């Protein structure tokens, strides 16, 4: 059942309180007054609507070498993720797997690299080297892959309002989506 407070005469005081406190464009107003779902979480760095808007968006591919990103997990519920991007396009859905040891993860990355046509191979494979990722980075380097370790726990590179590189990268990701010149595949 959907109830819009604008249709309830006795709710006018409530409506004015919410409007004064949060504004009529806020999620609080959408939920508490209009009875609608929020457009995004108020504390989210990258709103879902920006991500969904990029899915299937038709953009021109910029002439850059692809770059891959790897976030390493090991056993348990967490998953290792491999993203393949060419400047403004995620080239394919993010691949992920779990319950593999570090050498098997490095082997999967090497197999992906070897299966990629020479012209489409990444110029760099960026590996999050905090914790488990360091072992995958070392093995991939030993296998001759073009890896670069990224320690997202380090200080931010260029933003004064971000304490760590991890935070800075999240906000750069948001800008990437906000520009609306990026695309992600369905899946």
**Which fold, 49-178?**
Nucleotidyltransferase; domain 5 (3.30.420)
pLDDT-based confidence at residue 13 (cuts at 50, 70, 90): confident
The pLDDT tens digits of the residues spanning 73-88 come to: 987 788 999 999 999 9
- Taking the domains of the chain in order of start, what are their residue ranges? 5-39, 49-178
Question: DSSP string covering 150-173, please?
Answer: E-TTSBPSS-TT-SBHHHHHHHHH
Q: What is the phi/psi pair of residue 144, to 5°? A: 85, 15
Q: Which of 59-73, 82-96, 103-117 has the lowest mean pLDDT?
A: 59-73
Distance, in Å, from the CA atom of 26 to the CA atom of 145, rounded to the nearest integer, reads 47
Find the helix or strand (DSSP H, E) in which 113 lies: helix 102-115
The pLDDT tens digits of the residues spanning 124-149 come to: 999 999 888 999 999 999 999 999 99
**pLDDT at position 54 over 80:** yes
pLDDT-based confidence at residue 161 (cuts at 50, 70, 90): confident
């Amino acid at each position: 059942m959907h109830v819009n407070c604008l249709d309830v005469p006795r709710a006018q005081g409530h409506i004015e309180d919410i409007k004064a406190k949060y504004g009529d464009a806020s999620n609080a107003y959408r939920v508490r007054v209009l009875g609608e779902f929020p457009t995004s979480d108020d504390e989210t760095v990258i709103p879902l609507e920006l991500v969904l808007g990029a899915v299937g968006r038709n953009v021109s591919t910029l002439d850059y070498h692809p770059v891959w990103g790897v976030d390493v997990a090991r056993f348990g519920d967490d998953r290792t993720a491999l993203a393949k991007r060419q400047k403004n396009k995620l080239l394919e859905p993010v691949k992920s797997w779990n319950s593999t040891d570090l050498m098997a993860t490095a082997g999967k990355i090497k197999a992906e690299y070897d299966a990629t046509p020479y012209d489409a191979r990444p110029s760099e494979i960026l590996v999050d080297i905090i914790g488990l990722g360091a072992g995958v980075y070392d093995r991939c380097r030993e296998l001759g892959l073009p890896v670069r370790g990224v320690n997202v726990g380090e200080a931010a590179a260029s933003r004064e309002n971000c304490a760590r590189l991890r935070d800075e990268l999240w906000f750069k990701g948001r800008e990437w989506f906000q520009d609306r010149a990026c695309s992600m595949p369905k899946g």
